């Protein structure tokens, strides 16, 4: 469902993403990991057509991010890093606005909003201004808008950021429940989250892809827990690529 091929992006002298390639199929839940500034968010923005690559390309559900950005966006649910929303709107109003943009109306709209309100546990704040909500509730409203059109691909930038342990567990269970017929790319710093719900993991550092494997295989290969492996791979200059690991 996702094919990234030699993606590159720089900002002035900074090479944010350096020749990144990977593929995802239906049913994949991919933990996208790296230290702050590694290039995770920039890669996600290229995959969701918010930021064009300097070179290389990607396809999402067969649609090229350069040539068919509208089709890509139709098939993607995207939770951005800061879960932007209109603070004066209520979650109900915001989700109706998203449904307008997604072309959902009538019974289909009502069913979709009810579904995500329940699955994201925001039913009790649906008519409260978003600006008055806690960080955790805002994050869940952001997740609801990514899910409302039931897309085949989800690209989620730190979906559990700001959530308490119970809320994090609820989101993990939700993603596990819907993963079978979707491709889900999750940027996270939480290694236990990768262990809990991801069947694959990628580690990038300074824009370069270092590892593309499964959490279990990486742990077995290195003979260390994931925290130790992550520190080993991301301290200092990257020395290897995924093809060489």
pLDDT band with cut points at 50, 70 and 90 for residue 244: very low
**How many residues are there in the chain?**
245
90-124 tens-digit pLDDT:
999 999 999 999 999 999 999 999 999 999 999 99
Among 24, 31, 28, 29, CA closest to 47: 24
User: What is the pLDDT at residue 50?
Assistant: 93
CA nearest 204: which of 89, 73, 44, 59? Answer: 44
Query: Tokens 């995959």 identify what position?
Result: 47
* pLDDT at residue 162, as a whole number: 81
pLDDT tens column, 166-218: 888 888 999 999 999 999 999 988 888 898 899 999 999 999 999 999 988 98
Annotated domain spans of the chain: 34-208+234-244
Q: In this structure, are residues 202 and 22 in contact, taking their beta carbons and an 8 Å threshold?
A: yes
244, two tokens: 């060489």
Could you tell me if 140 and 166 are in contact, meaning their C-beta atoms sit under 8 angstroms apart?
A: no
- Token duo for residue 216: 């279990």
The rounded distance, in Å, linking the Cα atoms of 177 and 160 is: 16
Q: Are strands 183-187 and 29-33 parallel, antiparallel or unpaired?
A: parallel
> What is the token pair recorded at 94?
């915001």
> Which pTM value belongs to this model?
0.90
Predicted local confidence at residue 236, as pLDDT: 60
pLDDT at 245: 34
Alpha-carbon distance of 146 to 116, in angstroms, equals 9
The set of residues, in sequence order, having a beta carbon less than 8 Å from that of 3 and lying 6+ positions away, is: 23, 24, 58, 59
Instruction: Calculate the CA 111 to chain-centre distance.
Output: 24
User: DSSP letters along 78-133, please?
Assistant: EE-TT----TTS-HHHHHHHHHHHHT--HHHHHHHHHHHHHHTT-GGGTTS-GGGS
pLDDT at 82: 79
Contacts of 174 (CB under 8 A, 6+ apart): 119, 120
| 34-208+234-244 classified as CATH 3.40.50.300 | yes
Q: For the range 67-70, what are the long-range contacts, defined as Cβ-Cβ under 8 Å and sequence gap of 24 or more?
A: none
In the block, tokens 């690209």 appear at: 155
- pLDDT, one tens digit per residue, over 40-94 is 999 999 999 999 999 999 999 999 999 999 999 999 999 998 777 899 999 999 9
> What confidence score (pLDDT) does residue 196 get?
85
How far apart, in whole angstroms, are the C-alpha atoms of residue 201 and residue 91? 32
Write down the pLDDT at residue 192. Answer: 84
Both structure tokens of 148: 């409302």
CB 28, CB 184: distance < 8 Å: yes
């Amino acid at each position: 469902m996702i094919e990234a091929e030699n993606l590159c992006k720089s900002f002035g002298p900074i090479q944010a993403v350096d020749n990144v390639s990977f593929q995802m199929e239906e049913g994949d839940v991919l933990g996208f990991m790296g230290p702050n500034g590694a290039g995770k968010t920039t890669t996600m923005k290229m995959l969701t057509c918010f930021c064009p690559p300097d070179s290389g390309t990607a396809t999402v559900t067969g649609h090229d991010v350069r040539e068919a950005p509208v089709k890509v966006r139709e098939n993607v649910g995207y939770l951005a890093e800061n879960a932007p929303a209109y603070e004066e709107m209520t979650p109900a109003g915001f989700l109706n606005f998203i449904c307008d943009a997604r072309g959902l109306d009538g019974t289909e709209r009502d069913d979709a909003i009810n579904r995500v309100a329940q699955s994201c546990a925001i039913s009790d704040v649906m008519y409260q201004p978003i600006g008055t909500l806690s960080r955790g509730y805002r994050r869940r409203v952001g997740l609801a808008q990514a899910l409302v059109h039931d897309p085949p691909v989800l690209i989620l930038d730190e979906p559990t950021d700001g959530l308490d342990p119970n809320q994090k567990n609820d989101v993990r269970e939700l993603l596990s429940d819907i993963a079978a017929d979707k491709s889900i790319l999750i940027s996270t710093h939480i290694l236990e989250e990768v262990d809990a719900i991801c069947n694959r993991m990628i580690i990038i550092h300074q824009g370069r892809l270092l590892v593309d494997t499964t959490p279990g295989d990486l742990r077995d290969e290195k003979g260390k827990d994931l925290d130790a492996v992550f520190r080993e791979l991301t301290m200092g200059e990257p020395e290897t690529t995924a093809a060489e690991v």
